Amino acid sequence: MLPNSPENELLSAELSAELSADNSTEFSASVPDRERLATLRHTASHILAEAVKTLFPTAKLAIGPAIENGFYYDFDHPPFSHEDLTAIEAQMKKIIKANNRLERFTLSRDEAVTLMVNSGEPYKVELISDLPADAEISFYRQGDFTDLCAGPHLERTGAVKAYKLLSSSAAYWRGDSANTTLQRIYGTAFFTKPELEDYLAYREKVRLRDHNRIGREMELFTTVDIIGQGLPLFMPKGTRILQTLQRWIEDEEDWQRGYVRTKTPFMGKSDLYKLSGHWEHYRDGMFVIGDADKDADIMALRPMTCPFQYFIYKASQKSYRDLPIRYGETAVLFRNEDSGEMHGLTRVRQFTISEGHLVVRPDQMEQEFRDCIDFARYCMQTLGVDEEVTYRLSKCDPADMDKYIGDPAVWEETEARIRAILVELGIPFVEAVGEAAFYGPKVDLQTRNVYGKEDTVITIQWDAVLAERYDMYYIDQNGDKVRPYMIHRTALGCYERTLAWLIEFYEGKFPTWLCPEQVRVLPISDKFMDYAESIRMKLHAAGIYVSTDTRSEKLGYKIRDARIAKIPYLLVVGAQEEADGTVSVRSRFAGDEGVKPLSDFIDQVSLEIRDKIRREELRLDEKS
Ligand SMILES: [Zn+2]
Ligand SMILES: [Zn+2]
């Protein structure tokens, strides 16, 4: 069970997320406007290409389409610097001012190839060679610049009035990593300056919330080239948040929801994946270990936990009285992602998931499935993100039943049962055709990141068929062997991605229970260091993540630093506090909370952490 499917196009990390924002709400225009805008942006890409060829005549042209939110053009050229982009933008201004007409002309294929060979444009030659021999090939000329293109464009370069180059990054010719690495310059264009300004402001807002930026700034995680892409290192603070989440989920499963815990290997023999079907269908996505010529067993790092837990079930004979059995495991899984897909923590090669498989009798299925949905909802509510989530009933595609196991009538009936559960729980949901697992329908909890890209955070899958493949059974009242049903589910999905989501949702200002540093003690001078230390020890003993700022800096400076670190509580201590055994409390929630006896403060924060209370942020806090 994998929460998402691999996509292939290689784009810059940040923009790939932005570009795939297929239904991103904020900047999607109605269709005719969209077409006009695409024409404008495509015209801007010709202007960009002309500007680059003027300033860097050795650059070779590849392609330059309009895309969601802008346009790009790919060039075979060494990487462009920030200064280069500024110069290119200035050159574009001259081209726009010249207001040249974009004139269309056509050539036969042979003439077209000759023109592009003579112009020294090998990528264009390759594009033309792919067209039918009798095709009439269109070009557009503006001033001295000519580009192979099917159009359409605006009539004159002067029509492009509001534009901006945004970034540049590497991209493979035709998106294939076996090909030459090109340099892609991204830009955007709008019909009016205010529209452009709105978009740039939106983009900046998104950039500020990006978990990849905040997470590094707060020292939650980092990445190192020599270790590899998609393999983040969690620093002590980030690890602490992941651990808080993991302990919470494991405690909830083990003490409240009747799960038993398993610990199974990170890898297995290829035979296992042949049985599961992954070897045939998912081999490219797996890390395979070993050499078929030398090793008796080829192994692979696991992309899922399912069969490992099934074999625990199969280790002994089960009776109808033993069911349901709910196996939980905080499982480390591996996926060989395309390098272009990786962005911070949302696409990684190794990730941790609150994996679970429930083995149940058919008569228990509905109740257990309902409980899994209830558990997922509880997790979302506790994290404060339930309003960010869309519940989706993911169904089979009746027009493409070859993709699924089982009879369409049974699928329809199962989908109806899940629909009834969602209705009964009072959960609003959408239905999606063709999103089911091959073995059964599922409920997915969908969310969007700051770029508008949709992701599955939690999935709960109905499986009435796989027990057959793994020969799992139980003995019923009559002594007969019966196939159990199964539920594949996560409680929090992928921890790394959940952390990314929480960073973006809270902009790093986590609720106190999730904060890696919940309290910081600030002595007003070195004289009160001992008192500060005694407070730190008491808070630590009470299970609160606390530190003391022992630097000989001014109090104002220490407070500012603590704010940047987004710490919920600051305790300022000086002579009066030491004499009275009190602390002066400043919080992210109420600003100055006044002087309190230390024990009262400890009680208050302990309760807030224990009950996972989310206090509302003080809106003015940032400015004060
Ligand atoms: Zn064009
Ligand atoms: Zn599974």
What CATH number should be reported for the domain holding residue 613? 3.40.50.800
- How many domains does the structure of the chain reveal? 4
Q: Is residue 568 part of a domain?
A: yes
C-alpha dist (Å) from residue 394 to 304, 412, 418, 440: 20, 12, 10, 9
Q: Please report, in angstroms and rounded to a whole number, the separation of the first and last CA atoms in the chain.
A: 48
Query: In this predicted structure, what is the pLDDT of residue 128?
Result: 92
For residue 217, count other CB atoms closer than 10 A to its CB: 12
162 and 289: one domain?
Answer: no
The helices-and-strands tally (H runs, E runs) of the chain is 19, 28
Q: Residue 487 CA: which ligand is closest? A: 2
For residue 615, the enclosing domain spans: 512-622
- Domain boundary pick from 480, 503, 526: 503
- In the reported structure, the alpha carbon of residue 119 is separated from the centroid of ligand 1 by a whole-number distance in angstroms of 17
169 and 67: one domain?
Answer: yes
Q: Is residue 42 part of a domain?
A: yes
518 and 548: one domain?
Answer: yes
Q: Is residue 66 part of a domain?
A: yes
449 and 319: one domain?
Answer: yes
Q: Residue 437 CA: which ligand is closest? A: 2
Q: Is residue 528 part of a domain?
A: yes
Nearest Cα to 242, choosing from 507, 494, 459, 609? Answer: 494
Place of tokens 């269109």: 138
DSSP code, position 514? G
Q: What residues does 539 pair with on adjacent strands?
A: none
What DSSP element (H or E) covers 455? strand 454-463
Query: In this predicted structure, what is the pLDDT of residue 23?
Result: 34
106 and 50: one domain?
Answer: yes
295 and 315: one domain?
Answer: no
Query: In this predicted structure, what is the pLDDT of residue 52?
Result: 97
Query: In this predicted structure, what is the pLDDT of residue 528?
Result: 95
309 and 438: one domain?
Answer: yes
- In the reported structure, the alpha carbon of residue 244 is separated from the centroid of ligand 2 by a whole-number distance in angstroms of 24
DSSP secondary structure string, 244-285? HHHHHHHHIIIIIS--EE----SEEEHHHHHHHTHHHHSGGG
- In the reported structure, the alpha carbon of residue 149 is separated from the centroid of ligand 1 by a whole-number distance in angstroms of 4
- Domain boundary pick from 197, 224, 253: 197
290 and 260: one domain?
Answer: no
* Below-50 pLDDT ranges, the chain: 1-28, 621-624
C-alpha dist (Å) from residue 40 to 24, 139, 155, 159: 20, 17, 10, 8
Structure-token pair, residue 546: 């606390």
307 and 297: one domain?
Answer: no
Q: Is residue 7 part of a domain?
A: no
Q: Residue 305 CA: which ligand is closest? A: 2
Q: Is residue 221 part of a domain?
A: no
C-alpha dist (Å) from residue 561 to 520, 567, 573: 11, 9, 17
Query: In this predicted structure, what is the pLDDT of residue 449?
Result: 79
148 and 287: one domain?
Answer: no
Q: Residue 304 CA: which ligand is closest? A: 2
Q: Is residue 205 part of a domain?
A: no
Burial class (CB in 10 A: 0-12, 13-18, 19+), 70: buried
Interaxial angle between packed helices 236-251 and 495-506, expressed in degrees from 0 to 180 and rounded to the nearest 10:
110
Predicted model pTM: 0.79
Q: How many CA atoms lie within 13 A of 174 on its CB side?
A: 9
Q: What is the CATH number of the domain that holds 362?
A: 3.30.930.10
Q: Is residue 235 part of a domain?
A: no
Cα–Cα distance between 9 and 63 in angstroms, integer?
15
Query: In this predicted structure, what is the pLDDT of residue 93?
Result: 96
| Contact call for residues 186 and 167 (beta carbons, < 8 A) | yes
532 and 550: one domain?
Answer: yes
- Domain boundary pick from 503, 537, 568: 503
Query: In this predicted structure, what is the pLDDT of residue 518?
Result: 98
Q: Residue 39 CA: which ligand is closest? A: 1
517 and 466: one domain?
Answer: no
Length of the chain: 624
- In the reported structure, the alpha carbon of residue 164 is separated from the centroid of ligand 1 by a whole-number distance in angstroms of 18
